[in-house]
Structure formats: structure tokens, C-alpha cells
Structure 1
């Protein structure tokens, strides 16, 4: 089932997260006060809105109560981050993820209700380490304390077999969200499609199982 996700604040991190989420099939709303960025992102997400995220009325008008997840990407703007986090929690958003550029900012955002604080620079090191430690993993994203999403190259023994035949959910404790050929776009996973050496899989897997893919 699709999730409705708002990404508010479109720096490099926000743009990357929004586009990645949209590419795997989520409904993604983005907002930023920079009109050029909004124009650039409009074809890459479900909805793109020009909005001053420091203005309470404009943030209220975004309809955040309809979102499953709200992500703030404004590590350098604590006023806007506080505004978005506090309104999101007032509107009943279950999961609010906030980018923080310092420990002090992280503590403030936790106090106003953020469910998870991210530090892209620190987590980028973890992500890089996961990728470099494995010949199979092409990209790595943390979802929460237990789960991660990875771009995974099929094992040689999987080539020529379908996901139905491989039964990856039972045998490997993973869910395959999308599939693509290298250089192409992500698409629907057909359980009967035979895997090839050119395929990449987008899978959701428990972090404790990552070591199996070294």
C-alpha cells in the first residue's frame, strides 16, 4: 500500500529523498520557498508546492494531516524546522523525521515532537560503509531502528529464476519492493519474471541480516 509522504525543504538531501521515494512508488508531496527548485521537482514527485515554511498559515495549508510521514530537510533553518515538526504533530502525523545540523538543534526538535532525528553526514558514512562492505549492495537507506532498504544485485544462483521460485520472503526474510535493469527506471515486480544479470532489486530487509550479503 502506498504511503503519503511530505518532504519539506529541498536542499540536496530533501531532493534526493523525495525523488527516491517517488521512484519506488510512494505518493510524495514536496514544498520549498524556492520557485526554481519547485519547478525542477514538479515532474519528479506527485505534487510540488511553493511555500514559505516559516509561515504558519502556509504550512497549515499543506494538508499535513493527510500524510503518513513528514520529513523536514532544513538542517540550517531551525525556525522552519520547529514550525513544521510542531504543526505535523498537532495534525496527528504518526511519523515526523527531522534533519538536524547540530546536537543542540536535534534536542530542540525532539522536544517539539520529532520522532526521529537524522544527520545525513553521519549516516552517509554508515551508508557508504554498508555499500563498500558488500559486492551485492549498490545502495543503502535506513528506514528505522530495525529495517533498511537496499538496492541489491541478485546472487548468481538466482539468475534465471523468478521471485516465486526463489521464495525470498520466506528463505531470506526480505520483501522485494521494485525491480529494474541497470540504467533504467524502477518498476513493478512480477513474481513470475525470470531474473537476469542486469537486474537490480529494491528490497526491505532487517538490519541484522545485512551481514549475510557481504
Structure 2
């Protein structure tokens, strides 16, 4: 069965989620208080409606509790975001993801029962910053305050060395989850796997350990 999603708030973040879920073949209800936004995203959604989601009766009339997952992507109106989330919790939506504007907003959302809180602008800023600082970092995903998953591009220092030779887990506390070589991806590579220049390593570990490993092995002087 297709999962049913509802997206509340059709700004850039909410609108992109509607389009992507639709492309993935999911059923999507797009909701916004602005009629122009509703009309704009109607072609990309299963249904699109104009509604004030801070009104519990309006939410109930949409059958919101029957959706598997509701994403609250309301833009700058923190009060509306909080009230909408509270209504969703009270009607019993099984999974609620909310976009937070700042850390205080996140604390309130967590206290009132949001299941997941995201900071898309902050997270994208972190990823871009890591990419700018090092030419070897292709992508960066923060798992917690201390742990991350990073895509590193292999250079001369690791070329033709096996994972066993490099012994990254013992020396740096980092694990290689996968290696991408061209169109091929090797998940959980064997210890005798030889790395090649331009391989992309998907690494998980503590931020400080990843940084140390990157500086030692991946920060090549040459391009």
C-alpha cells in the first residue's frame, strides 16, 4: 500500500517535499493557508486544499489523523507551526516531522510531541561549509552533535592501499560503510579491497576522528 503523506506549508521546503513525494509515487495532500500556493502545487499533489491548520476542526475535517506521516513545513510563523503541531499530536497523527526555525523552536516542538524536528537551512549550511573547507569532502550528514557520515574522495595517499593496510577503524575509529567507483557501489567492502584514486568512500565516525583521518590521508596537496 502507498503511504499517505500530508504537507502543511507550501514554501520552498514544503513545496519541494510535495514534488519529491509525488515523484516517488506517494499519495500527498498539500495544505496551505494561501490560495495561490495551493493552486501552484495542486498539479504535484494528489489533493491540495486551503486550510488554517491552527484550527482543530479544520484539521479534523481533512481526516488528518488517517495520514501515515504529516510534515509541518510552515515558514516564518513560529506560532502557527507550534499550534499546528500541537493539534496534530492531539488528534493522534502517528508520525509528525516539523521544520524548526531555531533551537528554541525545536525545544518547544520536542516538548509538545513532534516525532522529528529538522533544520533544513542550518543542515544545508553545515554541509556546504564542509564542502568549501575541504575539496575532498563531497557530502556531509550530521547524525548527532558528535557523529557524522561523510563522503570522501580518495587521492594519491590511499591509492592502491587496501583497507587492511590503512586500518582506519583501529587508527581513527572510523568505519567504511561503502565504496563508490564510477557507477558501482561496494557496500561493506572486504578488508583486502584496494582503494583507487577518485574512489568515493562513505565513512561513519566521530567528527574529530573523521577530521583527523581526512587530514592525514585525504588532504592531498595535488588536485
TM-score range with shorter-chain normalisation?
A: 0.5 to 0.7
Instruction: Write out per-residue CA displacement over residues 6-37 of structure 1, whole angstroms, 9 at most, x where no aligned residue.
Output: 11011111111111121112111110011111
Matched residues in 1 for 2:183 and 2:76: separation?
47
Q: CA deviation at 1:87?
A: 2.2
Indicate whether 1:6 and 2:6 are aligned: yes
Q: Point out the structure with max Rg over C-alpha.
A: 2
SS in 1 for 2:43: coil
Matched residues in 1 for 2:36 and 2:108: separation?
30
8 Å contact from structure 1 (residues 10, 37) kept in 2: yes
Q: Report the equivalent of 1:71.
A: 71
SS in 1 for 2:92: coil
Q: Report the equivalent of 2:154.
A: none
Instruction: Write out per-residue CA displacement over residues 90-147 of structure 1, whole angstroms, 9 at most, x where no aligned residue.
Output: 23222211111122211111111111111111111245457x833xx8xx999x989x
8 Å contact from structure 2 (residues 78, 101) kept in 1: no
Q: CA deviation at 1:59?
A: 2.0
Q: Report the equivalent of 2:187.
A: 172
Matched residues in 1 for 2:141 and 2:45: separation?
19
Q: CA deviation at 1:75?
A: 4.0
Matched residues in 2 for 1:207 and 1:115: separation?
27
Indicate whether 1:118 and 2:118 are aligned: yes
Instruction: Write out per-residue CA displacement over residues 169-213 of structure 1, whole angstroms, 9 at most, x where no aligned residue.
Output: xx637xxxxxxxxxxxxxxxxxxxxxxxxxxxxxxxx9849x9xx
Q: CA deviation at 1:38?
A: 0.6
8 Å contact from structure 1 (residues 8, 71) kept in 2: yes
Any gaps of 5 or more consecutive residues in structure 2?
A: 150-179, 189-201, 211-217, 219-223
Q: CA RMSD, aligned part only?
A: 3.4
Indicate whether 1:55 and 2:70 are aligned: no
Q: Report the equivalent of 1:21.
A: 21
SS in 1 for 2:110: helix
Distance 1:50 1:122, change over 3 A: same
Distance 1:54 1:35, change over 3 A: same
Matched residues in 2 for 1:38 and 1:207: separation?
41
What is the TM-score when the length of structure 1 is the normalising length? 0.61
Indicate whether 1:96 and 2:96 are aligned: yes
8 Å contact from structure 2 (residues 28, 45) kept in 1: yes
Q: Report the equivalent of 2:105.
A: 105
Instruction: Write out per-residue CA displacement over residues 51-108 of structure 1, whole angstroms, 9 at most, x where no aligned residue.
Output: 1122222122221111111111114222322232122222322221111112221111
Q: Report the equivalent of 2:221.
A: none
Any gaps of 5 or more consecutive residues in structure 1?
A: 149-153, 159-167, 174-205
